[in-house]
Homo-oligomer: A and B are copies of this chain.
Amino acid sequence: MNRERIRELLESVRRGDTGTEAALERLARLPFVDLPEARVDTHRALRAGLPEVIFAPGKTPVQIAAIVQALRESEQDVLATRVEPQVADEVCRRLGAGEYEPLARTLWFGPAEVPRTGKGSIAIVSAGTADAPVAAEAESAARRFGNETELLQDVGVAGLHRLLAASEALRAARVLIVVAGMEGALPSVVGGLVDKPVIAVPTSVGYGASFLGVTALLGMLTSCASNVSVVNIDNGFGAAYVATLINRL
């Protein structure tokens, strides 16, 4: 149940269209939805006006479906992340609903077109083919969170001509999410081309001395560009969340 719907409910009460008891019944579900598996906190989404987010790994399709069901009954939009295809299939089958994006591995329960609440556009830039899933997760989450998004892929630093060709698109964004594995140099270079906040996402792509993303993470933290801040390895969702809050300012 998001902020908008609560406002409508309250006005409906004011107008006499909804009885106090009925309104109470619906509001009573707030702020906790209790399930056998988890005590779902709808508080935060309500406060921030954002959909609920479920981190799927470690949860069975049955558990995910139950949580989604409970949240949907509170008229809350839901985004599940890191959902494997077979899990997504099973959840959608059980609920008879859900929009799955296979590369991003996100599963969405809400309007096909989320109203734009972000003021500008968020650019998601990625370095290599292998970074695509994390970039896609960031893009999908940012879009579902009500932002216009622009996805720029395969613009690694060892091929500057591509990156420079994308300069205009980069400068057009209000916030940038830059996704890179291996040496994680892309945020530094992009950060030098724009005057907007850059959120860097290291990915676990690479082998040997990339240490499952640690090298990229450290590279981003020590970036020589000052407009870069960093989130956890592979955390495309987290970057989208921060970018959304910024884009609403």
Contacts and interface: CB of A to CB of B under 8 A. Distances in A.
**Complex copy number for this chain:** 8
Interface string A109-143: 00000000001100000011110000000000000
A189 interface: yes
Given A208-B234, A229-B230, A232-B208, A185 B157 contact: yes
Interface string A213-227: 111111111111111
A185 B218 CA distance: 12
Given A157-B189, A158-B192, A159-B192, A208 B221 contact: yes
Contacts of A37: 129
A182 B223 CA distance: 7
Interface in A184-231: 184-185, 188-189, 191-193, 195-197, 199, 202, 204, 206-231
Given A191-B158, A197-B245, A222 B130 contact: no
Interface of A: 31, 37-39, 41, 43-44, 47-48, 53, 58-59, 119-120, 127-130, 153-154, 156-162, 164, 174-175, 182-185, 188-189, 191-193, 195-197, 199, 202, 204, 206-235, 237-239, 241-242, 245-247, 249
A162 to B, nearest CB: 7
Contacts of A160: 160, 164, 189, 192-193
A230 B238 CA distance: 12
Chain A interface, DSSP helix/strand/loop, else mixed: mixed
- Interface pairs A-B: 5 shortest CB-CB: A208-B233, A185-B185, A158-B192, A183-B219, A229-B229
Contacts of A197: 242, 245-246, 249
A221 B225 contact: no
B195 A47 contact: yes
A242 B227 contact: yes
